[in-house]
């Protein structure tokens, strides 16, 4: 009798041990994001304001640095109007071209005369950067600064050298990082900047990190060692499929030779540098009245959202202010309608209320049911050592959907490397969704669209990976009519 009790006690202890072990969170796997990168991912969308002396030239997007400062004269500049537009569009962050490649500065820099202090606007007493960051603060928008490394105006100086420019740029960077409050992102464009070597960027990087430790650095070419986020290789709004957050650092340094590694990333890459997807709502980066009828439609913006935010990237959408210093009403309307459509689509997960089962289930607070609880603080995880899992959702009734979304726990690294989705009406005979078969990356967010399907059962198949799956959410949705 005592022996039987002893075995029972031992069995209970073993079961308790297994239960406790199963309740532990999965260990991170591979490279993982920094706190800066996690904050950046959570923005999902950022507005890009290309505004400057190019705005006041006829169809110029890349100024030569020779335009007169007198032509810069917005008649009704209102950065609060910009921020009101962003609030209606659900965009939480914005980046201003404080100095584009033409070299004209939108703040009264102490280190150049080629800036607003010699413009007609406000008699030379204005400061666009100040008005921008103040409006950001007023409306709860995270401010970012584009300070173009390439400067055509400075190149016009007969005594120009890269060594002199190193200190000129550093002085301006110090102004912007010190005098304008919290800066959430700085943008180091690679265009025209091949001559700028890594030692120069090292000098500038130290300024950013000292003055703005939380500031995300968008880096290209020779700034690659310091990049928090990378360019994804095109300006069409199309991040790759897959689009891993990891890549090889050499790809950032040599964009021309490593386009695929920029656009798609590398699953086993040596650097965690996720892709930022930059695209303009108009054909050009700066405002031109001739393009008022060429603003991207809501459907086109939805396509871009799905191939940027929905491809494990962050969308940097350019909204160029006009010569008044205002955003055009058509641009504002289209992004507001995009936001409306996104909410109409994703606010209701059609899997809500489903019965959920998984062949690989860690259980407890990591149970598969948390995939559909609409809580970013919870997630599903499989058991350690098991990278596969079939997760079946039994819906309350047959439901029609044409879109799905999955979100991985990015803090734990890229884990799943192959997944598919199937549907059934009897729970026995399964049909693959072609567009959602053999997918690779999940990452922060992955969206797949397809022709409408009506089903009572949906199955997410985690087919391969390097660690047990860890997924925040999975859902199927019906795309809003406004997006079609």
Q: Are 187 and 146 in contact (CB under 8 A)?
A: yes
In degrees and rounded to multiples of 5, residue 246 shows phi and psi of -95, 145
Q: Are 279 and 235 in contact (CB under 8 A)?
A: yes
Q: Are 186 and 149 in contact (CB under 8 A)?
A: no
Q: 271 — alpha (psi -120 to 50), left (phi > 0) or beta?
A: beta
Using alpha carbons only, give the angle 85, 128, 166 rounded to the nearest 5 degrees. 120
Structure tokens at 300: 């086109």
**Cis amide prior to 241 (ω within 30 degrees):** no
Q: Which residues contact 354 (CB under 8 A, 6 or more apart)?
A: 372, 393, 394, 395, 396, 458
CA pair distance 166, 353, nearest whole angstrom: 59
Q: Are 337 and 345 in contact (CB under 8 A)?
A: no
Using alpha carbons only, give the angle 227, 232, 233 rounded to the nearest 5 degrees. 115
Question: Residue 12 pLDDT more than 70?
Answer: no
CB-neighbour burial class of residue 15 (10 A; exposed 0-12, middle 13-18, buried 19+): exposed
pLDDT given for residue 4 in this prediction: 35
Q: Which residue has the tokens 């666009």?
A: 128
- Tell me the Cα Rg of the chain: 25
Tens digit of pLDDT for each residue in 239-288? Answer: 999 999 999 999 999 988 999 999 999 999 999 999 999 999 999 999 99
Kindly indicate the confidence band of residue 296, based on its pLDDT and cuts at 50, 70 and 90. very high
Tens digit of pLDDT for each residue in 392-415? Answer: 999 999 999 999 999 999 999 999
Structure tokens at 281: 């709502």
Q: What single DSSP character describes residue 55? A: G
Kindly indicate the confidence band of residue 199, based on its pLDDT and cuts at 50, 70 and 90. very high
> Which CATH fold would you assign to the domain 35-346?
TIM Barrel (3.20.20)
Question: Residue 22 pLDDT more than 90?
Answer: no
CA pair distance 288, 281, nearest whole angstrom: 12
Find the farthest-apart pair of alpha carbons in the chain and give their distance in angstroms, rounded: 99
Tens digit of pLDDT for each residue in 57-90? Answer: 998 889 999 999 999 999 999 999 999 999 999 9
Question: Residue 369 pLDDT more than 60?
Answer: yes
Fold match flag (35-346 vs 355-483): no
Closest among 14, 139, 25 to 384, alpha carbons compared = 25
Rounded percentage of the chain residues whose pLDDT exceeds 90: 93
Helix (H, G, I), strand (E, B) or coil at 127: coil
> Which CATH fold would you assign to the domain 355-483?
Jelly Rolls (2.60.120)
Whole-prediction pTM value?
0.95
Helix (H, G, I), strand (E, B) or coil at 38: helix
pLDDT given for residue 13 in this prediction: 35
CA pair distance 468, 383, nearest whole angstrom: 6
CA pair distance 249, 466, nearest whole angstrom: 22
pLDDT given for residue 9 in this prediction: 38
Rounded percentage of the chain residues whose pLDDT exceeds 70: 95
Q: Which residue has the tokens 């656009």?
A: 263
How far, in Å, are 35, 37, 234 from residue 32 at the CA level? 10, 9, 25
Helix (H, G, I), strand (E, B) or coil at 390: strand
pLDDT given for residue 59 in this prediction: 82
Tens digit of pLDDT for each residue in 306-332? Answer: 999 999 999 999 999 999 999 999 999
Question: Residue 23 pLDDT more than 90?
Answer: no
pLDDT given for residue 175 in this prediction: 99
Tens digit of pLDDT for each residue in 420-474? Answer: 999 999 999 999 999 999 999 999 999 999 999 999 999 999 999 999 999 999 9
For the chain, the domains span 35-346, 355-483
Q: What single DSSP character describes residue 238? A: -
**What mean pLDDT value characterizes the chain?**
95
């Amino acid at each position: 009798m005592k022996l039987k009790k002893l075995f029972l006690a031992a069995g209970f202890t073993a079961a308790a041990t297994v239960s406790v072990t199963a309740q532990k969170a999965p260990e991170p796997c591979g490279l993982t994001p920094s706190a800066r990168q996690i904050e950046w991912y959570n923005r999902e969308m950022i507005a890009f304001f290309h505004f400057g002396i190019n705005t006041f030239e006829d169809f110029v997007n890349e100024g030569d640095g020779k335009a007169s400062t007198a032509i810069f004269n917005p008649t009704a500049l209102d950065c609060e109007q910009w921020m009101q537009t962003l609030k209606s569009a659900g965009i939480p962050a914005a980046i201003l071209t404080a100095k584009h490649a033409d070299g004209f500065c939108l703040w009264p820099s102490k280190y150049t005369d080629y800036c607003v202090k010699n413009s007609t606007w406000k008699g030379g007493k204005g400061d666009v950067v100040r008005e921008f960051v103040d409006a950001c603060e007023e409306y709860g928008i995270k401010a970012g600064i584009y300070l173009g490394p390439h400067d055509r105006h400075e190149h016009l100086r007969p005594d120009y050298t890269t060594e002199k420019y190193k200190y000129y740029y550093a002085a301006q960077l110090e102004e912007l990082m010190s005098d304008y409050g919290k800066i959430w992102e700085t943008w180091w464009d690679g265009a025209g900047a091949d001559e700028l070597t890594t030692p120069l960027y090292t000098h500038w990087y130290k300024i950013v990190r000292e003055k703005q430790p939380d500031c995300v650095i968008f880096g290209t070419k020779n700034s690659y060692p310091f990049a928090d986020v990378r360019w994804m290789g095109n300006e069409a709004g199309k991040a790759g499929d897959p689009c891993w957050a990891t890549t090889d650092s050499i790809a950032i340094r040599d964009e021309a030779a490593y386009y695929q590694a920029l656009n798609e990333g590398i699953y086993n890459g040596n650097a965690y540098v996720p892709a930022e997807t930059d695209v303009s709502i108009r054909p050009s980066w700066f405002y031109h009245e001739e393009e008022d009828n060429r603003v991207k439609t809501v459907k086109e913006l939805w396509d871009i959202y799905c191939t940027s935010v929905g491809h494990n990237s962050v969308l940097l959408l350019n909204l160029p202010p006009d010569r008044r210093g205002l955003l055009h009403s058509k641009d504002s309307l289209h992004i507001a309608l995009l936001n409306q459509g996104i909410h109409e689509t994703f606010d209701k997960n059609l899997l809500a209320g489903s019965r959920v089962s998984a062949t690989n289930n860690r259980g407890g607070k990591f149970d598969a049911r948390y995939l559909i609880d609409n809580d970013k603080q919870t997630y599903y995880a499989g058991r350690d050592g098991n990278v596969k899992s079939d997760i079946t959702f039994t819906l309350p009734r047959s439901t029609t959907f044409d879109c799905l979304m999955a979100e991985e726990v990015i803090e734990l690294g890229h884990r799943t490397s192959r997944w598919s989705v199937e549907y059934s009406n009897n729970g026995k005979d399964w049909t693959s969704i072609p567009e959602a078969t053999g997918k690779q990356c999940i990452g922060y967010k992955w969206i797949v669209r397809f022709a409408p399907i009506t089903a009572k059962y949906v199955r997410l198949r985690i087919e391969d990976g390097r660690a047990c799956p860890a997924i925040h959410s999975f859902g199927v949705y019906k795309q809003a009519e406004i997006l079609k």
